[in-house]
């Protein structure tokens, strides 16, 4: 069995964990430089505030009632690490998929006790970190994702939902689910599927997998098998468009060479930036990670990831590569042979939205246009002369990078001078 554990409204929940007075109030978190809304509490959603809405264009009658925070990546990264540490108490098989989502493997665990086990884990996470989570259970990652939606939506589930592949409940859920809400099915793919008469997740499940492979891709074929309950999708195949872009790969052999690791990270970071520009998004933050081979227990083991804020929402390869390299320097351990490393661009916002946001940026228009022209040229050269024709080197430290974050909460868990204070009455 596979579980998808997902933190509810993660950034907002991190803020609320230290501010219980905010319970029930509309709360939002802004991108760096206080540009756009990137996380919303259910109460803020209910006021009609869209994801990515520019903060300075919010209606004054909304800003009066809600509490907005600058993003506090030091806090979110550390809280994410704490939540993951609790998962490790319940299963050794944890794959972090994004800052607030992990797939957990429960192979060999007695099925009839699994829901209780997950319920206990959920309460434990809440108790130890203050973060509410939801858990979806099934035999494939795609079904576990769908079960997770159910766990969030249906109050009766109490945060844990199980969807066995062959059950009436599962069939009913899939019949009601638009195909574009299935993991990895993009909106444009949805249009083509609709032309073939496939509108719901159930219709996709009963479609011919080989035909879909021919018409779409091998990932689409696997999605069909996944909907039938067979686990066959690798996490590297899947990054949900618009929310995050993951680029990672295993090395051909284990390597501890610093130069080699840096080259790989630079490569992943520039590929990610290129994908970002292709889908017209900007990233606000990125995660760098390194991993050793867990099947070589005789070697030193180390897996670590680090969440870093980008100096501003950006699609500029130079900034992204530079930030990722700095991250690698902080997590890389000398003398350890790594199997895999990667970069995940996260907290993506719509580029066209961000352009209205004149207040958010200290970058001048001229600078921005220069960056856009340079990146367009870079993409054109790599497209026409072959991928990797133009690559970026190390990048320079730029002392002029200062984040504007007027409403950032204290970094409660990572700075001694910002610890929360408890008063007894
Ligand atoms: Mg979440």
Tens digit of each residue's pLDDT (9 = 90 or more) over 380-400 = 777 777 766 676 664 333 323
Percentage helix, strand, coil for the chain under 3-state DSSP, each rounded to 5? 45, 20, 35
Q: Which domain holds residue 254?
A: 239-355+363-385
Question: Would you say residue 158 has pLDDT above 80?
Answer: yes
Ligand 1 mean position, distance from CA 263 (Å): 32
Ligand 1 mean position, distance from CA 378 (Å): 34
254 and 332 in one domain?
yes
Q: Is residue 57 part of a domain?
A: no
In sequence order, what are the beta bridge partners of 306?
Answer: 288
Catalytic residue among 101, 221, 226, 354: 101
206 and 187 in one domain?
yes
345 and 268 in one domain?
yes
293 and 250 in one domain?
yes
Q: Is residue 307 part of a domain?
A: yes
Where is the domain boundary, 190, 218, 236? Answer: 236
220 and 260 in one domain?
no
246 and 232 in one domain?
no
288 and 206 in one domain?
no
Q: Is residue 318 part of a domain?
A: yes
Q: Give the chain's domain count.
A: 2
Q: Are 321 and 266 in contact (CB under 8 A)?
A: yes
Q: Are 126 and 83 in contact (CB under 8 A)?
A: no
Q: Is residue 151 part of a domain?
A: yes
Phi, psi of 109 (to 5 degrees): -85, 135
For 273-332, write each residue's pLDDT tens digit: 999 998 888 999 999 999 888 778 889 988 888 999 998 889 999 999 999 999 999 999
Q: What is the model's pTM?
A: 0.76
Q: Is residue 319 part of a domain?
A: yes
In which element (H, E) is residue 274 found? helix 258-278
Ligand 1 mean position, distance from CA 127 (Å): 18
Q: Is residue 70 part of a domain?
A: no
Question: Is 101 an active-site residue?
Answer: yes
In which element (H, E) is residue 76 found? helix 73-90
154, 151, 155: which is closest to 163 by C-alpha? 151
182 and 301 in one domain?
no
327 and 221 in one domain?
no
pLDDT of residue 362: 54
The arithmetic mean of pLDDT across residues 135-156, rounded, is 95
Where is the domain boundary, 185, 212, 236? Answer: 236
Report the CATH number at residue 278: 3.30.1490.100
Ligand 1 mean position, distance from CA 13 (Å): 10
Question: Would you say residue 45 has pLDDT above 70?
Answer: yes
pLDDT of residue 399: 27
Where is the domain boundary, 218, 236, 254? Answer: 236
Ligand 1 mean position, distance from CA 8 (Å): 5
340 and 264 in one domain?
yes
Q: Are 90 and 103 in contact (CB under 8 A)?
A: no
Question: 34: helix, coil or strand?
Answer: helix
The arithmetic mean of pLDDT across residues 132-148, rounded, is 97
- Distance from C-alpha of 68 to C-alpha of 15, rounded to nearest angstrom: 10
For 221-277, write each residue's pLDDT tens digit: 999 999 999 999 887 666 555 578 888 887 878 888 898 899 999 999 999 999 999
Ligand 1 mean position, distance from CA 340 (Å): 25
214 and 176 in one domain?
yes
Mind giving me the DSSP string for 147-196? Answer: HHHHHHH-GGGTTEEE--SSSHHHHHHHHHSBGGGSTT--HHHHHHHHHT
Q: What confidence category does residue 165 fall into, taking pLDDT thresholds of 50, 70 and 90?
A: very high
- Distance from C-alpha of 247 to C-alpha of 345, rounded to nearest angstrom: 8
Q: Is residue 171 part of a domain?
A: yes
Q: Is 320 exposed, middle or buried (0-12, 13-18, 19+ CB in 10 A)?
A: buried
275 and 228 in one domain?
no
Report the CATH number at residue 232: 1.10.150.20
Q: Is residue 148 part of a domain?
A: yes
């Amino acid at each position: 069995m596979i579980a998808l554990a997902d933190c509810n409204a993660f950034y907002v929940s991190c803020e609320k964990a230290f501010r219980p007075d905010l319970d029930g109030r509309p709360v939002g978190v802004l991108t760096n430089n206080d540009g756009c809304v990137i996380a919303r509490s259910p109460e803020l959603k209910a006021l009609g505030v869209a994801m990515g809405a520019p903060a300075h264009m919010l209606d004054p009658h909304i800003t009066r009632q809600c509490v907005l925070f600058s993003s506090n990546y030091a806090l979110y990264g550390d809280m994410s690490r704490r939540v993951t540490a609790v998962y490790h108490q319940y299963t050794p098989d944890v794959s972090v998929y994004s800052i607030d989502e992990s797939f957990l493997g429960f192979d060999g665990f007695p099925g009839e006790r699994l829901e209780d086990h997950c319920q206990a884990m959920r309460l434990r996470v809440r108790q130890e970190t203050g973060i509410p989570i939801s858990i979806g259970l099934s035999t494939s990652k795609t079904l576990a994702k769908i079960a997770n939606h159910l766990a969030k939506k249906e109050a009766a589930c109490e945060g844990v939902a199980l969807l066995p592949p062959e059950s009436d409940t599962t069939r009913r859920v899939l019949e009601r689910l638009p195909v574009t809400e299935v993991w990895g099915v993009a909106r444009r793919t949805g249009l083509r599927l609709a032309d073939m008469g496939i509108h719901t997740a159930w219709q996709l499940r009963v479609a011919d997998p080989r035909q879909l492979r021919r018409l779409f891709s091998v990932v689409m074929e696997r999605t069909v098998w996944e909907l039938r309950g067979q686990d066959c999708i690798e996490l590297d195949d899947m990054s949900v468009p618009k929310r995050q872009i993951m680029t990672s790969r295993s090395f051909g052999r284990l390597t501890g060479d610093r130069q080699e690791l840096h080259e790989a990270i630079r490569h992943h970071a520039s590929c990610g930036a290129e994908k970002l520009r292709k889908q017209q998004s900007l990233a606000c933050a990125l995660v760098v990670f390194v991993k050793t081979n867990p099947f070589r227990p005789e070697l030193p083991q180390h897996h670590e990831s680090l969440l870093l804020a980008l100096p501003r929402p950006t699609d500029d390869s130079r900034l992204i590569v530079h930030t990722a390299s700095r991250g690698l320097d902080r997590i890389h351990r000398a003398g350890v042979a790594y199997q895999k490393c990667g970069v995940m661009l996260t907290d993506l916002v719509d580029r066209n939205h961000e352009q209205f946001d004149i207040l958010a940026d200290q970058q001048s228009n001229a600078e921005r246009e220069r960056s856009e022209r340079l990146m367009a040229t870079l993409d054109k050269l790599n497209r026409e002369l072959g991928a990797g024709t133009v690559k970026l080197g190390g990048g320079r430290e730029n002392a002029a990078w200062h984040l504007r974050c007027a409403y950032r909460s204290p970094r409660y868990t990572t700075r001694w001078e910002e610890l929360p204070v408890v008063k007894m009455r």
